[in-house]
Amino acid sequence: MKFAYRFSNLLGAVYRQGNLSFSKDGNSVISPVGNRVSVFDLKNNTSETLPVSTKKNITCVGLSPDGNLAILVDEDGAALLVSVITRAVLHHFHFHKPVSSIRFSPDGRKFVVTKENVALMYHAPGKQREFNAFVLDKSYYGPYDETTCIDWTDDSKCFVVGSKDMSTWVFGAERWANLIYYSLGGHKDIIVGCFFEKDSLDLYTVSQDGTLCVWESDTELDGLVLKKRQEKPAPQKKADEEEDDDEEEEERAEGEDGEPRGEVIRGKVAAPKEMTDTKNVRYKQASKHFFNKEGDFNNLTAAAFHKATHILVTGFASGVFHLHELPEFNLIHSLSISDQRIASLAINHSGDWIGFGCSAMGQLLVWEWQSESYVFKQQGHFNNMASLAYSPDGQYIVTGGDDGKVKVWNTNSGLCFVTFTEHTSSITNVTFTSSGFVIVSASLDGTVRAYDLHRYRNFRTFASPRPAQFSSLAVDVSGELVSAGAMDSFEIFIWSMQTGRLLEILSGHEGPVSCLCFSPVQSILASASWDRTVRLWDMMDSWQTKETLRLTTDALSVTYRPDGQEVAVATLDGEISFWNPHSATQTGSVVGRHDLEMGRKETDKITAKQSAKAKSFTSLCYSADGESILAGGQSKFVCIYNIKEQILMKKFEISCNLSFDAMEEFLDRRKMTEFGSLALVDEGAGDGDGVQLSLPGVKRGDMSSRHFKPEIRVSSLRFSPTGRSWAATTTEGLLVYSLDGSLVFDPFDLDLDVTPASIRKQLRLQEWAAAIVLAFRLNEKALTQEVLETVPHKHIPAVCGSLPDVYVEKLLGFVAASLEKSGHLQFYMTWAHNLLMLYGQKLKNRSGALLPTIQSLQKSIQRHFDDLSKLCDFNMFNIRYAVALSKQRGMKRTVEEEDEEEDEEKEEDEEELSEGMSEASLEDGGMVI
């Protein structure tokens, strides 16, 4: 089995914090999710997470005007320069302080970063390879408090910076003689947004108390004059600067790390002194507008302005947003999209779509304001995820969260397409039935619910005679029996899916039932409990206990191998033991406590090494072929063990995000003071973004607050039925790891003669079967595809018949993978059909090993069938409509006819029309496309 699994996508979370941005074409929205970045393609309705991650949560993203480069900055000020095209990290940089915003100039030659009360202008990275991609050009001082927002003029000559000290500063990007800096007041609260008018120096500033100021400049952009360089000796220049206090200071100094800081421009509240020949740029306040009406005060939290259409979008703390046309301040419309504060706003290039991010709920919305409709609407679980399950064909993943919601995700698009909200408390477990169209979920609210994926409704609700909190769930292979284990009464309840009636209550466990699992081949239920036993119950033989497996410590998880011949149990001491369910004997065990490698929490009084003794695996899952097992628990690591050899094969680190607790093995000495750890001090400034400490003994943070430092853990693991990927629900979200076939060179029976040239020679000689065999021996995907697609359609049955048996499975697997992405639908379907018809019986004998390939084939065919059937139905209705319209033509009355005959003709026309419509429907009923 291959273990080259790579991180491929992040589901279950669409937005956490930071600024949203649209791609250059306006069809994709780029959203920061924790320490990763997701790109949502709104045209094709797909999502992708870039394979790059920062050390802490991302706070701001700067996208270059051509859309090729992005700068990601995290909470500490560490920056990554990322190529959006190749998905590669090009450069690492550290700003040493938290950065509030970052913005490229429209010409793409500079970018400005604001940190603390300074605006730093850097040369943008070029197309050539550079030793240092971030070269500082100028530093601008002026505001007294932290800077909050940036905007550039259209020609990149000037930029404006807003600050928490209620002032707005306009700076020249070049050495303009008549605009070095300019300070604007007029507000009574923090500046949230400042925007230049199109091709002008006129300004709009928006503050947190809901005030908009319109500023008019007396100079056009063309009126800016470059400052002449004066040839003066250095000491004299220094003396001149000391004499003249009103003029700006320009100096070359060295930064904290010894790098040259470029020019330093220090602005003062008073306007700079005028030169003799040029008059300085002046601003005057043209008007002032207020968003909040009397008695209805609402904090303004985000703003965006589209220069071409003059539209200002403002988001508020109550989840309301307004659209205004400037400079007249005409309200276009206002709408409430959430009950939480809007954290970020963005407008796409054309100005049609507006993106909203709500960090408290984890919502991402894209709104088309002209048609007043949603283009995109996604929300993750705003609390921890508890469980996940794959559908039998691997096309869907269902997740249950502590927020009481059950969500179904499409693995191809990475998006959620249905959410069930019937549960009133945390979900503890979810699963699919074998048909793949029914989802069952168990919850702490005392109910087990079944959902129909055809009509998207809750069609069964199972409950116990006495209220019980259900902690585990299992559905048998037929989908007829539903079982759930209780936390408080130590009983297992069995219901019938058909009738919804309670069939039996299984008693015998002396502790809470932690996990349930049905055998995949017969009607036997395995139940793991804290009473140090695993019981096997026979569903056919009057619900009796068939076997009891005695363990040394509490059992936390139990799972059957896909062929039903082995049971794996995870226990509290960090061991995984393997049992034969027929003889109830132990066949092996793996001690995995040392592989968990726990980190030390900031509130822990003991070291990580000591606390790791109490940690264990809480989730187990067999691989599709049953040769290895996947295990995860209260740690940032997921381990794959080989069962036969009982050794660790590979360990995956699911996150490197230091914003989570228990990530590092040792406490950071820099945070230790004489008063204790700085991490225990709540540094929140009272603006609602502080980090509150979790209450003692509370695993899920302080429930009264959404801001807490969550602990990293894996709550559930599942292998895809196709065997190509596995998924884990973690504190970060739903992570999907899949095999990246393009990067693995894995030849089979390689020889010196097997080269691309010899394979192409066989193709020229029309030796199709020999070429296919050679291509599989070299095992290069692109070459194999070239060979297959060169084979003429009419020769496919003959080529399939002459293939050696050993290559049939390989070819079937390749066809299944190609069918998923290729446009040659009929061609690859012909290959699959011929292979299955010719070798069906031989393949059936090895069905266990081939199951992932067959399921992958079924998944691809099902997806194409769904897409095509929708298209065909749509075309059928269009053709019927066109035919009905053509029958209608020519039945209209002529104007010249006499008034007396009008009534009679009307009746005749109606009769003819109804006949025509019925004829059309009859004709088209038999139409086949």
Counting beta carbons within 10 angstroms of the beta carbon of residue 692, is it exposed (0 to 12), middle (13 to 18) or buried (19 or more)?
Answer: middle
pLDDT tens column, 771-807: 888 888 877 788 888 888 888 988 888 888 888 877 8
Q: Look up residue 912 and give its two tokens.
A: 């003819």
529, 511 contact by CB (below 8 A): yes
Mean pLDDT of 453-469: 93
Least confident of 72-81, 226-235, 334-343, 487-496: 226-235
> Does pLDDT of 463 surpass 90?
yes
Least confident of 72-81, 414-423, 656-665: 656-665
pLDDT the model gives residue 543: 73
User: What is the distance between the alpha carbons of residues 15 and 33, in angstroms, rounded to a whole number?
Assistant: 5
Q: Look up residue 735 and give its two tokens.
A: 């992570």
Question: What sign does the CA torsion over 862, 863, 866, 872 have?
Answer: negative
pLDDT tens column, 609-667: 777 777 889 999 998 888 899 999 988 899 999 999 989 999 999 888 888 887 777 77
User: What is the distance between the alpha carbons of residues 657 and 37, in angstroms, rounded to a whole number?
Assistant: 13
> Does pLDDT of 892 surpass 60?
no
Q: 140 forms bridges with which residues in the sheet?
A: 119, 265
pLDDT tens column, 581-593: 999 999 999 998 8
565, 572 contact by CB (below 8 A): no
Q: Which residues contact 435 (CB under 8 A, 6 or more apart)?
A: 392, 479
Provide, rounded to the nearest whole percent, the portion of the chain with pLDDT above 90. Answer: 48
pLDDT tens column, 234-284: 333 333 333 333 334 444 444 444 445 578 888 877 777 766 567 888 999
pLDDT the model gives residue 85: 86
- What is the CB-side half-sphere exposure of residue 565 using CA atoms within 13 A? 5
User: What is the distance between the alpha carbons of residues 788 and 816, in angstroms, rounded to a whole number?
Assistant: 13
Backbone angles phi, psi at 768, to 5 degrees: -65, -45
Provide, rounded to the nearest whole percent, the portion of the chain with pLDDT above 70. Answer: 86
More confident residue, 392 or 842: 392
pLDDT tens column, 560-583: 999 899 999 999 999 999 999 999
DSSP class of residue 619 equals E
pLDDT tens column, 106-137: 999 999 999 989 999 999 987 766 778 889 99
Mean pLDDT of 395-419: 92
In the chain, how long is the greatest CA-to-CA distance?
108
Mean pLDDT of 819-846: 84
User: What is the distance between the alpha carbons of residues 294 and 310, in angstroms, rounded to a whole number?
Assistant: 26
Residue with tokens 């070269």: 135
For the chain, the C-alpha Rg in angstroms (whole number) is: 33
Angle at 334 between CA 333 and CA 336, to 5 degrees: 145
36, 49 contact by CB (below 8 A): yes
Question: First CA to last CA across the chain, in angstroms?
Answer: 44
777, 747 contact by CB (below 8 A): yes
Residue with tokens 């045209």: 43
Nearest of 911, 755, 528 to residue 536 by alpha carbon: 528
User: What is the distance between the alpha carbons of residues 661 and 601, in angstroms, rounded to a whole number?
Assistant: 6
pLDDT the model gives residue 242: 31
Q: Look up residue 915 and give its two tokens.
A: 């006949």
More confident residue, 229 or 233: 229
pLDDT the model gives residue 248: 41
